[in-house]
Chain A
C-alpha cells in the first residue's frame, strides 16, 4: 500500500484528476498502484467508472478531510 504513487490532482480543473490518472497509466509499468488525490467529489464516481471501462482495478475509494483518495492498480 505504501508503495502507491500519489497523483496530487487537488484543485485541478483542467486536465483534472481522471486525466492525470490516465497520464500515469500511460507512462508507468503494469502493476503500479496510483493514489489519486482530488478535491472534486465527481472523481469518486468518474474515476471508478473509467477504471472499470478500461479494465484496470479499483483498490480503494475513500474520503479524508474533503479530499477524495482513489487507489487504482494498472493491470494491463
Chain B
C-alpha cells in the first residue's frame, strides 16, 4: 500500500529518475490471510487468497522476490540471502508477525492452529474427521487479528450443529484475561452469546503446555482442561529477519514511536503493521491506517517537508458473529470502542470486503 501510494504521487519524480521504490517480498504471491479462517471450515480454498504480487503493485515499483537476510543500518542496505545488497535512503519495515506454536511445549504435536495456510488446511481435514467431543479453542498472547479466535469459536459451534455433531460436542473457549475479549463491548456481547450457544468459557487462562498423550492443556494460572480437538491461537513473534538485524526486543517486535511510526532512534526507518511493538491490535486495518501516515510522511519529506503527519492509533475490525451476521468495532488511542448491534448487512459487507481487499492493497481504497 505504501509503495503504491508513493508510486502514484511521486510519479513525476520516478519518471525523472530521482526516486526509486523497491518492494522486497519473499514470495511472488500475495496472500490474503483472513481467508485462512474460512479455509479451516472448507469455505475457501488457497486459490481464493492468492494473487501475483506484481498484479497488486504499481508498475512504477520495482519488486525483488527473495528472502531479506539482514538490515545493515551502518551501510543503509538490505542484505538478501543470495548476497544481493539493496540500498535505501528510507526503509519501511512491514515484515508482519508469525505464529510461534513451538513456544508452547506439546502444542505442535498435540494441537492445531489456523493462522497459516498450511495449518488451516490441516485443521480443515481434522474437523472433517471429527466425530464429536471437546473442541477446545485456546487463545494466547500476543496474537494478530484479535477477533479471529472469537469468530472461529462461533463458526465452529455453527459448523458442528450443521453437521449434527452439536449434541455430541462441547465447544470450549479460553482467554488470557478476566473477560472474554480485550475489547470491553465485544466481551460484554460474548458474555451473552457464548452461554446462549452453550459454549464453555475459561478466563485468566494462558496456556503454558500441552500434553498430547493425556490430551490436556495446562495454563500458567494452574488450570488443566481436557480436549479431543485442540485449536490454539498461539503466541506470535516478529520475524527472524528482525532478530538477525538486531532491531527488535526479545519477541522480535520493533520499538516504534506510536505517533510518527519511526523506529526508535532511527530517522529514516518507518515500521508498520504487525512488526511494531505498539500496544494496538495486530490487524490488517491497523497496517492500512498506518500505511497512510507513512506514505504521507515519505512523500512530504522527499519533497522537502518535515514529515510530521501523526498516527492516532486508529483500528477498525469487522467481527463475524455466526448465524450469518457480523458487527464492527473501531477505536484509537483516545477513543474507546463502542458496541454496534450485529446485522446481516455487515456480514455481507465483510464478505464483500474479502474481495475488495485487493483494491485496498493496490492503494485505491
Contact = CB atoms under 8 A, between A and B. Distances in A.
A16 B250 contact: no
B221 A54 contact: yes
B146 interface: yes
Main secondary structure of the interface of B (DSSP, over half): loop
A46 interface: yes
B235 interface: yes
Contacts of A12: 279-280, 333
Contact of B141 (A7, A8, A22, A49): A22
A28 B146 CA distance: 22
B251 A27 contact: yes
B333 A11 contact: yes
Interface residues of B, number: 32
B111 to A, nearest CB: 17
Nearest to B175: A19
Contacts of A10: 279, 333
Interface in B171-228: 176-178, 182-184, 204, 206, 220-222
Interface of A: 7-20, 22-23, 26-28, 46, 49-50, 53-55
Given A27-B249, A46-B178, A15 B281 contact: yes
Contacts of B336: 13
A14 B206 contact: no
A11 B281 CA distance: 12
B313 interface: yes
B141 A15 contact: yes
Given A23-B142, A46-B178, A53-B204, A13 B250 contact: no
B337 interface: yes
A14 B141 contact: no
A54 B220 contact: yes
Contacts, number: 82
Given A13-B337, A53-B221, A18 B177 contact: yes
B233 interface: no
A8 B276 CA distance: 13
16 contacts: A8-B258, A11-B332, A12-B279, A12-B333, A14-B146, A14-B281, A15-B281, A16-B177, A16-B182, A17-B279, A18-B178, A19-B176, A22-B141, A46-B178, A49-B178, A54-B220
Interface string B298-336: 000000000000000101000000000000000111101
Interface in B144-181: 146, 176-178
Interface in B67-107: 103
Interface in B85-137: 103
Given A14-B183, A15-B146, A50 B250 contact: no
A29 to B, nearest CB: 8
Nearest to B236: A23
Contacts of B182: 13-16, 19
Nearest to B331: A13
